Structures are given as structure tokens and as C-alpha cells.
Amino acid sequence: MGVIPPALGPSFDPATISLPNSRSHAEWTPFPDVVPAAPREGERNAFGGLTPAALATAWDAQLRNDIDTGLEALAELDDSSDPLTAWLAGFIRVQMLLASGRAAEAKAELPQMATREIAWIGHDLNSEALRGEVLVWIGDFEAARFALASVLHRTAAWRLPVTYGGPPTNLGQIVSLTNAQLRAQTAMGALHFLQGDAEKAHTWASAAEARSLNAMSKGDAGPPGSA
């Protein structure tokens, strides 16, 4: 993709983001019937980092919707010296808070989460996409549209590589950019649905489905929390 465009200023117009191309569901292979499994302690996660025990516990708790156990485990990682682990702790915390109906608490975590992502990989695309999702569920639709459109604009040139000559050396970037696009498309679909525009909601949701299937066809879809 080259250099990732920086965060956009207030002059950016979300209306410049056009709808993705519409495709029929019949063109796609259905999702495989696979039960997701959390990475275990010491295993590499989808972003290419080793999984510490507390992170493995949090991901497993997220799968079981055990919010209290998950948040308790994540608290152990707040002072992690590993930038990826520190960011993932915040990222998963926001997801768990949002899933449990605590959107206001999730929103309060967003600035630190974005700072940690920049420290890890040099951009805040996943954090901004998740911020847009949080804003959708809070009901701040205009702010959500701006956040999600900015992610889609900044990742417009990104395409998942078709073939590899060997194991990718930039796994973190590949997963990061793909997940950011996927989350932004999914949340944009939710935004339009909640605003009563079923046609646009379907178009964005279909684009997200196509992106997800494309990613899954090229390898492991990753652990819970990665998309």
C-alpha cells in the first residue's frame, strides 16, 4: 500500500466515500462452519505477536461473553512493555464494554487505545474504525460517519495480496489494514440500517462479507477480537 495517509482533518467530507460495488451473494462461497478458538498462551495471534497468558484468558472470556473475567485479565496488561499487547488490551476492552452495553465507558477508552496502536504500528486505523462503531451504537451518527469514512478513505488503496512467495514478513500490517477496512464497512452498514436506509446498509454489509470471505480464503481468519 505504501505510505498510509495520515488522520484527516475536519475539512474532510464523508460524502466523498462512494458505495462499494454491489455483488450477489450467489457469487460467494458460504462461511465455513468453524467454531472460533482463542489463541492459547505462547501462540502467535493473528497480528503476529506472541500471546501472553492474560491475553489468552481475555480472548477466551470474550468468546464465552464472560465480561468480568475478560476485563480483569486485560487489566493485567495495561503496563505491558510490548506495544502490540498493550494496544490489544485496550482494543479488546473496548469491544467487551461495547458488547455488554457499556458504550459510554467504551468511548472513554478510545483515545488511549488509538495512541497505543500508533505506538505499535504507526497508524490508528483499527482504533478509528472501532471508534466509529462505538459512535454508531451511542447514536452519534454524524461523528460515526466521519470516522468510518476516514478509515475507508485512508485504506482505499489497500488490497489483500493474492499470492505469497513464502510466509509474509509484514503479517501485522496485512491483518491490521484488512481488519480496519472490514470493521469500517460493517459499521457503515449498521449506521445506514439504524438510519433506515436498508439498501445502503445491505451494500456495505455485502462488501464487508466479501472482504471477510476474501481474507478467510487466504488463511486463518484470526482470533476473536481481530475483526
Q: Which residue has the cell 489483500?
A: 160
Complete domains list, the chain, with CATH: 44-158+169-216 (1.25.40.10)
Please state, as a whole number, how many other Cβ atoms lie within 10 Å of the Cβ of residue 101.
Answer: 11
Please state, as a whole number, how many other Cβ atoms lie within 10 Å of the Cβ of residue 80.
Answer: 17
- What is the DSSP secondary structure assignment for residue 15, as one 8-state letter? G
Q: Which residue has the cell 467487551?
A: 96
At 72 the three-state DSSP class reads helix
Q: How much is the pTM? A: 0.82
> Between the CA of residue 67 and those of 23, 40, 74, 79, 93, what are the distances in Å?
37, 18, 10, 20, 9
Beta bridge pairs of residue 50: 44
Nearest by Cα to 93 from 62, 114, 124: 62
C-alpha cell at 30: 458460504
Mean pLDDT value of segment 160-176: 71
Mean pLDDT value of segment 29-49: 75
pLDDT at 222 over 60: no
pLDDT in tens, 53-107: 999 999 999 989 999 999 999 999 988 999 999 999 999 999 999 999 999 999 9
What are the two backbone dihedrals, phi and then psi, of residue 218, each rounded to the nearest 5 degrees?
A: -105, 5
CA 41 – CA 22 distance, rounded (Å): 41
Longest CA pairwise span in the chain (Å): 47
Nearest by Cα to 109 from 74, 144, 141: 74
Q: Which residues contact 14 (CB under 8 A, 6 or more apart)?
A: 145, 146, 148, 149, 150
pLDDT at 26 over 70: no
Residues 32/38/40/42 CA torsion (nearest 10 deg): 90
What are the two backbone dihedrals, phi and then psi, of residue 90, each rounded to the nearest 5 degrees?
A: -70, -40
pLDDT at 162 (0 to 100): 59
Mean pLDDT value of segment 33-44: 77
Q: Could you tell me the pLDDT band of residue 4, with boundaries at 50, 70 and 90?
A: low
CA 188 – CA 181 distance, rounded (Å): 10
